[in-house]
Amino acid sequence: MKNVQKQKRANKSLPFFFRDEFKVSLVIILISLALLITTFTFDIVPPILNRGIQPATFPKALLVLIIIMTLLIYYLATKNPWKVEKKLPRSFFLTLLSFVIFVVVSKTLDFFLAISALSIFVSYCWGEKRLFYLLLVGIIFPIIVFIFFETILGLRFPPGIITNIYYS
Amino acid sequence: MDNLLLMLAPLFSSKLLLVLFFGTLFGLILGVLPGLGPTTGGALILPFTMTLDPLSAIVLLTSIYCAGTYGGAITAVLINTPGTPAAAATCLDGYPLAQKGEAGRALGMATVSSTVGGIFSVVILVFFAPILAQLAYEFGQPEYFALAIFGLTMLASIGEGSPIKNLIAGAFGILISTVGKDFMTSIDRFTFGINELTEGIGFIPVVVGLFAMSEMLTQSTLINQIFNRIALKAIKLPSKDDYKKTWKTILRSSGIGSFIGVLPAEGGTVASLIGYSEAKRFSKNPEEFGKGSIEGIAGAEAANNAATGGAMVPTLALGIPGSATTAVILTGLIIHGVRPGPDLFREQPDFLYGIFGAMLIANILFFIFGFFGAKIFARITLVPNKILWPMIFAVSVCGTYSLNQSIIDVWIMLFFGVLGFFMRRYGFSVVPVIIGLILGELVEGTLRQSLVIFDGNWLMFFTRPIALTFFILSLIALAFPLIRSRKFKKKNDKV
């Protein structure tokens, strides 16, 4: 409890644009505004065919509601600041990077290879240096999962350099 | 009598018994592993259920739900980390008692009270779900709209964390449900020219992303964390003295848990916290709470398991999920072509009572597994995260891909994983997003159809007594957190 109060005091000492509540509220409002603008590009149903409200009305109302509530949480946070969150460690950013690597590899090379690459990369970044375990999570286990999904669910994985060899 | 026989049907089917056996076992493993749990596990197993008939599929999901909720207690007692969020209150007394060398006694009480709470809630389910379904015959589109709004406002009232943040998350969930072709006019909304989005955003990529992938990112920030594990010799059944001390607490918490479960909110998590605080309030020894009170364990565990049956009541009777896990079960029902609601009770009683019976048996099964196998399940926590999470990633990716065989679904899952991580970091619960997503179509559909019926006159909503009652309840639900915080402030000022 004392720790939380200390973190809150630390947050109060920061300029307002560095505080989490400001940054989070700003991001939500900017995204909501962008989506709100998008709703104006939705097709409009001609009055003769329209039953009830236009398709854009409901999302518009939701987005306005989200913006109002976000302003409210920001206003309340000025009175009762959020606690300062700890800085994210390097392992978090490496895991995030592995997601990006997964998307790129699965799109360009192979889906199975992407799973394998991410598993080895994450396991290594999280501290696993033993080769057997890296092979277990990166190759043996994905092969088991792959075959399981392929045979039990009759799943066909997207084409790629490894899956093509398997299917041919 | 007929219904009782229908409930016992799973006992006479070797296939259902096998499904129950594996579901309970899998649920326990998921519950024991911190970060996983019945919601993520249920979402991951959903694609596999496509190979089963509808009853077996739902029996599998419900047994995972019951056993997973209990499994969290094992980790809570032995390593002071709740296996599931619903077991958070169990840590408060379970771990201190284990530190005193009484881990077996703590787990014994957790197992007994979980089983009693779970069975109590199945009885509530059997009696109240048909009554609620009968009432639902009176519901038209406006009533369903008002009910869905009430469900969403309840998230603000009794969900964990900030009420406004919960409402924002719920509104965001509804917004996700609007992506794709508008169901009334077939006009594209938020598709940004991506063909795959015209069918909308699937439930499974969002759930797996928000729960499993965001948890993977959370675990990446905790790789240097060291758990102090307490060795478990054997589970002990509670003594006569323990029963004397706790039977009232177990019954009270079972009632509280069942009631909270019925309300659409965070189910077991909130139920266990209220069950725990009520146990403390009524206890003759409140000073023992937090230091290893056996009543504290009983109060929290009976309540969180009682919420399982409670949460199934609105799910089956109205098609409104009572918790995140029941939202997964609801998706399972829909995928298998079963539409929850009053007609289900009239047309498929064998299916429904089969589920009730399976839940009852699952509660007994996890008692047996927990009692004889807790020592083994506790060892599962020894699997290092650096091995476990890459494996979970592989299953998550293949499971998400398998539903529509779409790589876009996998990317959506990763996107929601990152989003879920930051939401949790800044105090936004991810559960309202799931509830909002599942209720979104109902909210918008019933609103628009009601407006067609009312010829665009909004005020007509308030001329329908049942709808008006739900709107008043929604207002009370919204006002409740305000009243609660003022009371708390006054109390603090006095102190």
CB pairs under 8 A between A and B: 156
How far is A16 from chain B, CA to nearest CA, in Å? 16
pLDDT top residue among A64 and B204? A64
Q: Which of A56, A82, A126 sits opposite B386 (nearest CB)?
A: A126
Of residues B188, B385, B451, nearest to A52 (C-beta)? B451
pLDDT over threshold 80, residue B167: yes
Write out chain B residues lying below 8 Å of A158, CB-based: 405, 407
Contact of B22 with B60, CB cutoff 8 Å? yes
Between chains, do A35 and B187 touch, taking CB under 8 Å as contact? no
DSSP annotation string for B422-435: HHHHTT--SHHHHH
CA distance A129 to chain B (A): 10
> Average pLDDT of B355-376?
87
Nearest CA of chain B to the CA of A14: how many Å? 17
What tens digit of pLDDT does each residue of B276-319 get? 888 888 888 888 888 888 888 999 999 989 988 888 888 888 88
Q: Is A25 on the interface with B (CB under 8 A)?
A: no
Quote the CA–CA distance of A106 and A115 in Å, as a whole number: 8
Q: What is the mean pLDDT of residues A82-93?
A: 83
Cβ distance B188 to A111 less than 8 Å, yes or no, reads no
Mean pLDDT calculated for residue range B2-30: 81
Q: How far is CA B105 from CA A115, B40, B287, B293, in A?
A: 43, 30, 20, 11
Mean pLDDT for B344-359 is 85
Q: Chain A residue closest to B186 (CA)?
A: A55
**Partner B contacted by A45 (CB < 8 A):** yes
For residue B196, give the DSSP letter.
G
B 438-457 residues with CB below 8 A of A? 444, 447-449, 451-452, 456
As a whole number, mean pLDDT of residues B116-126 equals 90
Backbone angles phi, psi at A113, to 5 degrees: -60, -40
Residues of A in contact with B162 (CB under 8 A): 73
Express as a percent the part of chain A with pLDDT over 90. 20
Q: Which residues pair with B180 in a beta bridge?
A: B189
- The mean pLDDT value of chain B amounts to 84
Cβ separation of A52 and B184 shorter than 8 Å? yes
Q: Smallest Cα–Cα separation from B242: which of B289, B297, B282, B281? A: B297
Asked if A77 has any chain B CB less than 8 Å from its own CB, the reply is: no
Option in B168, B410, B425 nearest A66 (CB): B168
What ipTM describes this predicted complex?
A: 0.88
Interchain proximity B398–A145, CB inside 8 Å: yes
Measured between beta carbons, the chain A residues lying within 8 angstroms of B185 are: 45, 49-50, 55
* Local confidence band at B243 (pLDDT 50, 70, 90 cut-offs): confident
Average pLDDT over residues A127-141: 87
- Mean per-residue pLDDT, B75-81: 80
pLDDT: is B171 or B402 the higher one?
Answer: B171
DSSP string, B19-48: HHHHHHHHHHHHHHSTT--HHHHHHHHHHH
Residue written as token pair 């009432």? B135
Residues of B in contact with A46 (CB under 8 A): none
Mean pLDDT of B414-432: 90
> Poorest-confidence range of A80-89, B17-26, B304-313?
A80-89
Instruction: Tell me the chain A residues in contact with residue B172 when contact means C-beta distances shorter than 8 Å.
Output: 66
With CB atoms and an 8 Å threshold, state whether B189 touches A141: no
Nearest CA in chain B to A28: B168
Q: Does A101 touch chain B (CB under 8 A)?
A: no
The pair of three-digit structure tokens given for residue B314, joined into one six-digit string: 């609105």
Cβ pair B317, B288 in contact under 8 A: no
Give me the mean pLDDT over the B425-449 stretch: 86
Indicate whether A132 pLDDT > 80: yes
* B460/A contact by beta carbon, under 8 A: no
Cβ–Cβ contact B223 with A under 8 A: yes
Per-residue model confidence (pLDDT) at position B57: 92
Q: Which of B368, B340, B372 is nearest to B355 (CA)?
A: B340
Contact flag B448-A52 (C-beta cutoff 8 Å): yes
Q: Mutual orientation of helices A141-152 and B385-404 as an angle, nearest 10°?
A: 20
pLDDT at residue B222, as a whole number: 82
Locate the chain B residue with the closest alpha carbon to A90.
B221
Backbone angle region of B37, left / alpha / beta, with phi > 0 → left and psi within -120 to 50 → alpha: left
Cα nearest neighbour of A21 on chain B:
B426
In this prediction, residue A29 has a pLDDT band, given cuts at 50, 70 and 90, of: very high
The dihedral formed by the CA atoms of A57, A61, A67 and A69, expressed in degrees to the nearest 10: -170
Nearest CB among A58, A123, A155 relative to B178 is that of A58
pTM: 0.85
Backbone angles phi, psi at B291, to 5 degrees: -115, 10
* Average pLDDT of chain A, as a whole number: 84
Residue of A nearest to B402 (CA): A155
Q: What is the mean pLDDT of residues B367-391?
A: 81
Residues 126 to 165 of A: which have CB under 8 A from any B CB?
126-128, 133, 136-138, 141-142, 145-146, 149, 152-153, 155-158
Spatial CA neighbour of A121 closest among A145, A140, A95, A143:
A95
Q: B322: closest CA among B172, B135, B129?
A: B129
pLDDT at B230 over 60: yes
- Do residue A73 and residue B405 have CB atoms under 8 angstroms apart? no
pLDDT at A63: 95
Residue B189, φ and ψ in degrees, nearest 5 = -130, 130
- Cβ contact A66–B172 (<8 Å): yes
Phi first, then psi, for residue B243 (nearest 5°) are -60, -45
Select the more confidently predicted residue: B222 or A96: A96
